[in-house]
Structure 1
Amino acid sequence: MSTRISDHTSQTAHAVSDLVARSNRLGADPRVTNYAGGNTSAKGSEIDPVTGELVDLLWVKGSGGDLGTLTEKNLAVLRLDRLRALAGVYPGVEREDEMVAAFDFCLHGKGGAAPSIDTAMHGLVDAPHVDHLHPDAGIAIATSADGEALTTEIFGDTVVWVPWRRPGFQLGLDIAAIKAANPQAIGCILGGHGITSWGATSAEAEARSLQIIRTAEEFIAARTAERSEHPFGAERPGFGALPEAERRAKAAALAPVIRGLASTDSPQLGHYTDSDVVLDFVSRERLAELGALGTSCPDHFLRTKVSPLVVDLPADASVDETVARLTELHAEYRDRYQAYYDRHATSDSPAIRGADPAIVLVPGVGMFSYGRNKQTARVAGEFYVNAINVMRGAEAISTYAPIEESQKFRIEYWALEEAKLQRMPRPKTLATRVALVTGAGSGIGRAIAERLAAEGACVVVADRNVEGAREVAEALGGDDVAVAVGGDVTSAHDVAAMVDAAALAFGGVDLVVNNAGLSISKPLLDTTEADWDLQHDVMAKGSFLVARESARAMIAQKMGGDIIYIASKNGVFAGPNNVAYGATKADQAHQVRLLAAELGEHQIRVNGINPDGVVRGSGIFAGGWGAKRAEVYGVEEQDLGAFYAQRTLLKREVLPENVAAAVLALTGPDLSHTTGLHIPVDSGVAAAFLR
């Protein structure tokens, strides 16, 4: 008994590891399948720990997983006998959604992922290994008007056409029947959708998947080379790509406006794409025609919506002209989307999820894509690039003919899709917000960036020390969470570049922390004009420049926002030998009041924080300020934090994370009606109490 268990445990481990490795290879190539698209499976046997008998099992990628990053925990494990027995109780295609809940009664063991809608396809097809993928070339055939004839022309009888059917139990039965009737076949083209292949071994299934994809790619390439004109038509005069610097400057100017429009129903994060594929598509004569047809593969339009918003102006249209036209087109898009919902919704359809576009195409500039987080926004853009490739391929070999609008609606507003959305984790406090933190490469700024990211914000980490900024951004989670930008806040050019970086990376900016600073500790008679100018340039002028450029973007977004000044208790307390620093902190404190009064009509709140004695981790204190203050107070530099703590009412040392917590308090939902406020974070300095 123990030998049998050991042997089968080893065989099972090998089968699962092969499946994971195969999945990772297939998922790593965007020509093979898109992010989180497709699924793979393996069948095998294992000793049932209850009966001691062999039981046949199916390991299949679970709901919401991604092939490229799949691990064993992302697999659903089901008893094959119970799964196949479901065919005997299947109530028919009109009630096939009920079968998803039945999969739970087929699960083996504990843990693992929830079974996906495609589980039936993998379990019912009589093959040890099955791949279902969404390659651009395969979908190009699947969405061609004569896709069935093309399948025969390209593959003969080795790949079989399966007419469009929404993913589900019936599609699994269809493919199983087609495979049984075509023993020579290695796979099939699913109309409007993708491909499925199978094999006796993991290696054979993978090889057949790649064979189908490469054969389709070669056929499309050959037909494209034979054409005398581009599948998307000629390039429209004046609609070609702008030079890179001009293109990205225009994109940065438009991004906050478009994000605000795309967030009419709910806040969104953005992603900008100016790849050659996109720039070529938006320059062509047939852009509006093909864009209106929308995408076809279910994975695509669930992310991109049924069609994009297409700007119909030439590349050299001014920003103001483009903004005006975008506003008109957005209103029209919302009307069309509402009409689409009204045409197809039934009494039991989920409520409309918002009528704003997920994809916006701008000739000469590129594509803006949107989602509830940065990854979703980026993936939506990647999926639309897939869709462009599909349209190009289909138009090269035939006519692009996506599935009918009514079928798209059935998937977009599918009860199962709605249930998946409802299962998603509750958003974090600052989800969908974009933060720009200056001086974020160390000390207080780093602590603020870390706290904001932990609460769900996307963060632009700005610092003169760009290497330090990159280290922080990478530690926060990389490009889907944070980006680094180098720059000097005393330079209007550099500050504009910081705000542009926020716009291009995440769509705009919502939350700005004026933290960059330095400290010059000298008596009045020792303070030089250069000391005075440097101190005021960095903190007074720098804060003004950052607030001005950020407010410009926030006003364009029309989504409100927060501007936080990291001021100081020295703005209200006359500390010794501190004239330049104290005066500029007082300047910052009054900027808070002035800007709160001016920007309130735009729902932009401006507040300040007055820390004191933040020694640990501080770049300012490490840069010489600590030594000078220690000399003033007659203590050792390493004891300065403790010295500051002992002179406070609470006798507690103030840490960078305490300041970060105050930033969160001011920018979170609990103080939504507060502006013009300064919060002391100094453990209690009575002489600095606000009056």
Structure 2
Amino acid sequence: MEKTFKYVDYLWDEQKAASLGDDQVALFLYRSNILGADLRITNFGGGNTSCKTTEKDPLTNEDVEVMWVKGSGGDIGTLTREGIAGLYTKRLRDLKNVYQGITDEDRMVGLFNHCIYDLNSKAPSIDTPLHGLLPFAHIDHLHPDALIAVAAAKDSEKVTKKIWGGTMGWVPWQRPGFDLGLQLEKCLEENPGIRGIVLGSHGLFTWGDTSYECYMNSLEVIETASEYIASKIKENGEVFGGKKLESLPAEERKDKAAILMPLLRGLVSSENQMIGHFTDSDTVLQFINSNDLERLAPMGTSCPDHFLRTKIQPLILNLETSEDISKTENVLGKLRPDFEQYRKEYKDYYENCKHDNSPAMRDPNPVIIIYPGVGMFSFAKNKQTARVASEFYVNAINVMRGAEAITEYTSLPRQEAFDIEYWLLEEAKLQRMPAEQPLSRRVALVTGAGGGIGKAIADKLVAEGANVVLTDINKDNLKEAVATYKRDQVHGALCDVTKAESIDAAYKKANLAFGGVDIIVHSAGLAISKSLEDTTQKDWDLLQDILVKGQFLIAQKGVEIMKQQGLGGDIVNIASKNGLVAGPNNVGYGTAKAAQQHMTRLLAAELGPDHIRVNTVNPDGVIVGSKIWEGEWAEGRAKAYGIEVKDLPKHYAKRNLLQEIILPEDIANGVFACVGILDKSTGNTINVDGGMANAFVR
């Protein structure tokens, strides 16, 4: 029977669960995934879940209890068997015999490995004993906004008893670790029969004998807290002290954010280049436009999962919504002092709280940036991390709203927050992160990316870690191309490269999606093969508009953004061997390609001082997989060479020195060489043609 909840989503599918049979691990994973699908219950990477089963010991063949729990760094919404750890429950509990107190916490994490049952286990997380020291078959540790609001409210313990009576336990804030597991165990012993435990300033523990019972228990507890908060908000009549200012209209907000993004990105990238994200949701606007913003925001967040991803506090911009922000230097003059002050305060926080063995201070720039009346920006090493940081701060806003409605919001003391942020175990986790890809932290815009060479270039840039804005004039091709990527990797923008307003709109989308642009690849093109007599003025204008004017307009707007960021950049123009070699029936196309090549050299000379590199990749004979060869161009080239269209790939392969067929992927590799390897080269031409002696540039 379907259950109805108002404040959480009931997602349990009886048919799906039945298909898993009595596989308790599969049911625990299923429960985890549907819990993680609701951001009101827990955010990406937040919380953890577990189950306990009876297994055969591989050495004694005896029945033993094994706990299966989310491993370190995982996400319950996408959790699979590869992401969990399997540990002997008894061995984990036996660690109580060697535990020497709070100062022994870090050593205990290493001892978890001595409890491993499943040799394919993910590394156990710091929360492992919190599950292992409780006796229940299925356990959820979640970070629902409503529960953290209760946990972060002044007099949280009294509030917990008021909401649930004696059915919920409560333990005060304590950094996650073995001792917190002992406190949970003690709380249960002192309160037998409770259905869960509220962790002060942290989150929620709930449990059940089956995966379904655990799931329902979690939802019911969260629903109860949500109902209580809703009633208090209704009773109080307003949140966050009421509205201080009105938001700009939606389109004006987007316009201001798009203009501001590259400037913010440049400032926030003073130590490490960042990718951006923007949101102006109703939840965000209610908070950032409120009277209590300047009181609550500096307090910081309460839940460790929140501030680890959002930093200790946001930066509030000192900009009025009425200000003209189109004049870059004027705006930077106002923004720089805000950033300098933020960095100073972060350094003071570090210096005041650090220990003798603390890791070195990390990047002091803000992660969350608030522009009252407009929206909220977040910046991180990649799009997913920036988006997730934004989502976590939205969770923090919900927590502040709820706690303020209940009694009064309280945040973690600065020292406690620092001890989490600069925990040696957290530092070790960061050091274990895989090396970043060559194009990580960079944003590319590729024209003509709906198929052929442009799509292959986008594929390569994404594979090497870049975020890519795919542009194309064909809506269907663009939609199909964008659908081939995972979330956060790309963004699509319809774009006619012959129209400045269309290009401006594409760059606006790049700014809003990722914060700016670092790599521009002009791949949009077409080919017309005709003799001088047969070439019409329309043919000539079309080639000049798309290939030459388009390249000019794309570069002009892109360079404006690159200069605002102050991070340098790359422009790669896809020209052709035909710009270097004179051939028959090719006057319009060859002339346009030659113009593209010389424009590259001119821009390289002009933009060098800004550390913007401009290079050309010259393909030749890219027939397989290229849209240019679908139609009259192929027929024209076949006619010029006196062969049939079907023989063109072999013809072009035979005429190059390597006798190779050139593919779109080969052109993509040439682009990657320009933007990912040759970081001290500009004004160059890379021929990707299998070797054409008459096209050698030197």
TM-score by length of 1: 0.96
Aligned to 1:7: none
Alignment RMSD (CA, Å): 1.5
2:122 is the alignment partner of 1:116: no
Q: CA deviation at 1:538?
A: 0.5
AA partner of residue 104 (structure 1): N
Alpha-carbon separation, structure 1, partners of 2:500 and 2:423: 50
Equivalent pair of 1:12/1:45 in contact (CA under 8 Å):
no
Give how far 1:682 is off: 1.3
Aligned to 2:605: 597
The letter of the residue matching 2:345 is R
CA distance in 1, matches of 2:526, 2:30: 52
Query: What is the number of equivalent residue pairs in this alignment?
Result: 677
Name whichever of 518-527 and 303-312 sits farther off. Answer: 518-527
8 A Cα contact 1:78 1:106, kept in partner: yes
The aligned counterpart of 1:360 is 369
How far apart are residue 442 of structure 1 and its match?
1.2
Cα displacement (A) at 1:126: 2.3
For residues 80 and 572 of structure 1, the distance between their equivalents in structure 2, rounded to whole angstroms, comes to 72
Query: Which of residues 176, 190, 193 in structure 1 aligns to 2:199?
Result: 190
Aligned match for 1:300, one of 290, 306, 314: 306
Counterpart CA distance in 1 for 2:450 and 2:320 is 41
Aligned AA for 2:272?
Answer: S
1:359-408 deviation line (CA, Å, top 9, x unaligned): 11112221111121111111000000000100111111111101101111
Match in the other structure for 1:690: 697
Q: CA deviation at 1:322?
A: 4.5
Counterpart AA for 1:567: A
Output one character per residue of 1:630-653: Cα deviation in whole Å (capped at 9) or x when no partner.
111111111112111212222222
- Which residue in the other structure is 2:111 paired with? 102
SS in 1 for 2:469: strand
Counterpart of 1:535, as a letter, is L
Listed one character per residue, the Cα deviations across residues 479-532 of structure 1 (whole Å, up to 9, x for unaligned) are 311111111100101111111111111111111101101111111122111111
Q: 2:679 is matched by which residue type in structure 1? A: S
Aligned positions of 1:353-502 closer than 5 A: 353-477=362-486, 479-502=487-510
* Pairing partner for 1:550 from 552, 555, 558: 558
Cα gap change, 1:656/1:105 in structure 2, threshold over 3 Å: closer, same or farther? Answer: same
Q: TM-score, normalised by structure 2?
A: 0.95
Measure the CA separation in 1 of the matches of 2:534 and 2:208.
82
CA contact (8 A) 1:616 1:641 kept: yes
Percent identical: 51
Q: CA deviation at 1:674?
A: 0.6
Contact 2:265–2:565, Cα closer than 8 Å, also in 1 = yes
Q: Is the 8 A contact 1:489 1:542 kept in 2?
A: yes
Determine the C-alpha separation between the residues in 1 that align with 2:148 and 2:49: 18
Please give the residue correspondences for 1:118-517 in structure 2 after superposition, counting only pairs within 5 Å.
118-228=127-237, 230-237=238-245, 240-319=246-325, 320=327, 322-477=331-486, 479-517=487-525
Amino acid in structure 2 at the alignment position of 1:257? L
C-alpha contact (below 8 Å) 2:20/2:26 kept by paired residues: no
State the secondary structure of the residue aligned to 2:247: coil
Q: CA deviation at 1:353?
A: 1.5
**Counterpart code for 1:273:** T
Give 1:73 deviation, angstroms.
Answer: 2.0
Q: C-alpha displacement at 1:129, in angstroms?
A: 1.9
SS in 2 for 1:436: strand
CA distance in 1, matches of 2:581, 2:594: 9
After TM superposition, give the deviation of residue 109 of structure 1 in Å: 2.7
The one-letter amino acid of 2:532's match is L
Give the secondary structure class of the aligned counterpart of 1:428.
coil
- State the one-letter code of the partner of 2:199: L
Partner Cα separation in structure 2 for residue 177 and residue 130 of structure 1: 17
Question: Does the aligned pair in 2 maintain the 1:466–1:484 contact within 8 Å?
Answer: no
**Among 667, 670, 683, which residue is 1:676 paired with?**
683
How does 1:79-94 map onto structure 2 within 5 Å? 79-94=88-103
Contact 1:466 1:487 in 2 (8 A): no
For 1:652 and 1:203, the matched residues in 2 are separated by 60
Q: Which amino acid aligns with 2:229?
A: I
- AA at the equivalent of 2:412: I
Contact 1:474–1:482 (8 Å) recurs in 2: no
Preserved CA contact (<8 Å) 2:318 2:338: no
* One-letter amino acid matched to 2:202: H
Q: 1:533 aligned to 530, 541, 546, which one?
A: 541
Q: Following the alignment from structure 1 to structure 2, what is the Cα–Cα distance between the partners of residues 187 and 501?
A: 45
The 3-state SS of whatever aligns with 2:629 is: helix
Alpha-carbon separation, structure 2, partners of 1:484 and 1:467: 11
**3-state secondary structure, aligned to 1:130:** strand
Q: Is the 8 A contact 2:318 2:335 kept in 1?
A: no
Cα separation, 2, equivalents of 1:139 and 1:52: 44
Q: Secondary structure at the match of 1:526?
A: coil
**Structure 2 unaligned runs (5+)?**
1-18
Tell me the alpha carbon deviations over residues 332-374 of structure 1, each in whole angstroms, 9 at most, x when there is no partner: 1111111111111122111111001111111222111112111
Please identify runs of 4+ aligned residues in structure 1 that moved more than 4 A.
Answer: 10-13
Contact 1:139 1:193 in 2 (8 A): yes
Q: Distance in 1 between matches of 2:22 and 2:111?
A: 27
CA positional deviation for 1:107: 0.4
SS at match of 2:572: strand
Residue identity matched to 1:682? D
Instruction: Output the CA distance in 2 between the equivalents of 1:461 and 1:549.
Output: 16
**Residue of structure 2 in register with 1:3 after alignment:** none
The C-alpha deviation readout for 1:576-608, integer Å capped at 9, x for no partner, is 111111111111111111111111111111111
Cα distance per residue 1:409-430 (max 9 Å; x no partner): 0011111111111111111111
CA positional deviation for 1:474: 2.0
**Offset of residue 467 of structure 1:** 2.0
